[in-house]
Amino acid sequence: MRVLVTGAAGFIGYHLCRRLLHEGRGVVGADNLNAYYDVSLKQARLAQLQALPGFIFRQLDLVDGPAFTALLATHGITHVVHLAAQAGVRYSITNPHAYIHSNITGFLQVLEACRNQGVAHMVYASSSSVYGLNQDLPFSEHRSADHPVSLYAATKKSNEMMAHSYSHIFGLPTTGLRFFTVYGPWGRPDMAYWTFAERILMRLPITLYNHGLMKRDYTYIDDVVEAMSRIIARPPAPDPAWSATTPDPASSSAPWRIYNIGNSQPIALGRFVAVLEQTLGIPAEVILSDMQAGDVEATAADITSLDRDIGFTPRTSIEMGLERFCRWFTAYREGRAGIGNRAQ
């Protein structure tokens, strides 16, 4: 197995590359190092990876289809994990074209390259945001998700449908992963938990939207990469029980599959902040505000299928996960990026 990870300098990509390298896999990372958030953080992650034997990095934009196809051919790639994307729900409201460029056009180039190079399995990042207006908790892949409330979510749902067409027409095995609020060391500065920790440490107020009445299925990064590592090695087969008269939205007569990757234990925002306060040893000053556009009140993952198919059970409590994040975060702010990078 030789794996190409796109978005390798990103949060999940970084951790997945480390995991695969420690498993002895050959790993090639690709990233365009865009400036959506602090590029120095991406470069710091990349420096950690480049210090590990067996890691190869190439900087490129996935929209450059010929260059991406050549990358697969040159390195004999057998499996692709496509994590590169324009992230952020609220950013998609003000910068919609960036999402079409990266998440639609870029995704098409990845599909084409995987098809042309005969890749054994393409795994790609979807998002829990595709559930949109669905309020039937916990969210199940086996129920429809056709009413996204942000363009970001719409592009991720589109990715699932694009992948299905390639699985159906060309027999390309594809698996989409709907991530639920991933957090942990080396995370993203635009995520709420990072912002909360930063502002609490600076003794600045934090804003809780929907007056704090939010629930999220916070999923620790080590649990996420454990599930991903197992899934990469299990390309989907056509579902012999699938029926067009009673279609299952999570499987197909093609080699195509959708999984939720979540903790399956949603946490109220108030409790999340309380654990963060306790971990940092500093009380938070809270401002309550109305719901933001494109947001949803609660998320919760049904991971029954994940447990059945790969034996995945998340193991990290919110207390343990935030303790590991805060330990890394305080070291990172002090310029000691290598300290606690594995958050053991």
Report how far apart, in Å, the C-alpha atoms of 74 and of each of 4, 58, 71 are: 11, 12, 5
User: Is 81 in contact with 4 (CB distance < 8 Å)?
Assistant: yes
- In this structure, what token pair is assigned to residue 292? 């933001």
User: Is 191 in contact with 180 (CB distance < 8 Å)?
Assistant: no
- In this structure, what token pair is assigned to residue 264? 């399956």
Distance from C-alpha of 120 to C-alpha of 114, rounded to nearest angstrom: 8
Other CB atoms within a 10 A radius of the CB of residue 191 amount to: 17
Residue 290 DSSP label: P
Distance linking the first and last C-alpha atoms of the chain: 27
Instruction: Give the active site residues.
Output: 152
Dihedral sign, Cα of residue 26, residue 3, residue 181, residue 14: positive
- In this structure, what token pair is assigned to residue 192? 């709420």
Report how far apart, in Å, the C-alpha atoms of 132 and of each of 77, 117, 183, 296 are: 35, 35, 21, 7
